[in-house]
């Protein structure tokens, strides 16, 4: 998806306790960032009015509520979101839950959650999974795309394999991005350059910008790293196409 504007590649996570806090951050970053994530905390505090306020600024909204319930409830919830002009929303769960979300999605893009970036293989064993994180992510990703989901939420560590396996038709959004060494609760992270070089379409970043001494400078640095990763990806793609062309010439 080479046509996505740079300002929409970076999704800023508005993980904040009030609509007033969220609005201040949107106003602070909107010259650089045009895509914002509204999660549980902010949505419970501000509901759809805060979503609509962000949209009124000409920005896109990723409503990250990770719907997980009986299929009929998920279908009705997604139908509510679809009427609000939201760009992305997230759904967790089994095939029937994902199918229900897809039936109601309208214009909103359904992103299936594969495995939370705060989980590692030890956590998966505690939850009863007897497989690697990568194998679990790939299995869930294949099913989600076959069921009609538009894309996936996945750690940047799994993005290279997902892009190889699923091709260019799936939207890959990588949360838990850390521009420097990781020191918080995210266990499976990459930096922005690595994520985009590997094939990500968007990244979600919150604390590394919000907690920076100069948040705007931090956002600008991340945008520069995104550009670097995209250049790297285009270069590799060009080299592969060139090599393929040379092989065809030899065969001809």
Quick check: is 96 in a domain? yes
Quick check: is 77 in a domain? yes
Q: Which residues are CB-neighbours of 65 under 8 A, at least 6 positions away? A: 39, 40, 43, 77, 81, 89, 90
Q: Which residues are CB-neighbours of 98 under 8 A, at least 6 positions away? A: 91, 110, 112, 143, 144, 147, 148, 149
Quick check: is 122 in a domain? yes
Quick check: is 80 in a domain? yes
Summarised one tens digit per residue, pLDDT across range 12-38 is 999 999 999 999 999 999 999 999 999
pLDDT at 127: 47
Q: Domain containing 95: what range?
A: 6-251
User: Which parts are annotated binding residues for substrate?
Assistant: 15, 37, 64-73, 117, 178, 186, 206-207
pLDDT (average), residues 184-199 = 78
208/133: higher pLDDT: 208
Domain count, the chain: 1
Quick check: is 65 in a domain? yes
User: Which parts are annotated binding residues?
Assistant: 15, 37, 64-73, 117, 178, 186, 206-207
Which letter does DSSP use for residue 41 in this model? H
| Number of neighbours of residue 185 by Cβ within 10 angstroms | 9
Out of 23, 69, 109, 221, the active site residue is 69
Quick check: is 1 in a domain? no
Least confident of 97-101, 130-134, 195-199: 130-134
Least confident of 29-38, 52-61, 105-114, 116-125: 116-125
Annotated active-site residue 23? The verdict is no
Annotated active-site residue 64? The verdict is yes
HSE, side-chain direction, 13 A CA sphere, residue 33: 32
Quick check: is 247 in a domain? yes
CATH number at residue 52: 3.20.20.70
Out of 21, 23, 66, 109, the active site residue is 66
Out of 64, 150, 191, 201, the active site residue is 64
Quick check: is 50 in a domain? yes
């Amino acid at each position: 998806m080479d046509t996505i504007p740079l300002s929409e590649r970076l999704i800023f996570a508005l993980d904040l306790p009030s609509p007033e806090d969220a609005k201040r951050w949107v106003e602070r970053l909107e010259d650089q960032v045009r895509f914002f994530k509204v999660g549980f905390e902010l949505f419970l505090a501000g509901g759809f009015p805060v979503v609509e306020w962000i949209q009124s600024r000409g920005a896109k909204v990723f409503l990250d509520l990770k719907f997980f319930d009986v299929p009929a409830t998920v279908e009705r919830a997604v139908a509510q979101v679809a009427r609000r002009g939201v760009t992305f929303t997230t759904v967790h769960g089994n095939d029937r839950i994902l199918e229900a979300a897809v039936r109601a999605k309208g214009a909103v893009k359904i992103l299936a959650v594969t495995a939370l970036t705060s989980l590692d293989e030890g956590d998966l064993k505690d939850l009863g999974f007897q497989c690697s994180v990568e194998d679990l992510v790939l299995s869930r990703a294949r099913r989600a795309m076959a069921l009609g989901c538009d894309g996936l939420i996945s750690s940047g560590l799994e993005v290279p394999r997902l892009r190889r396996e699923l091709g260019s038709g799936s939207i890959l959004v990588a949360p838990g991005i850390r521009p420097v060494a990781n020191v918080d609760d995210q266990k499976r992270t990459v930096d922005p350059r690595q994520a985009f070089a590997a094939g990500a379409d968007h990244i979600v970043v919150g604390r590394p910008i919000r907690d920076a001494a100069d948040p705007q400078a931090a956002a600008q640095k991340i945008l520069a790293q995104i550009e670097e990763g995209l250049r790297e990806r285009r270069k590799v793609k060009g080299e592969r196409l060139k090599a393929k062309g040379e092989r065809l010439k030899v065969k001809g």
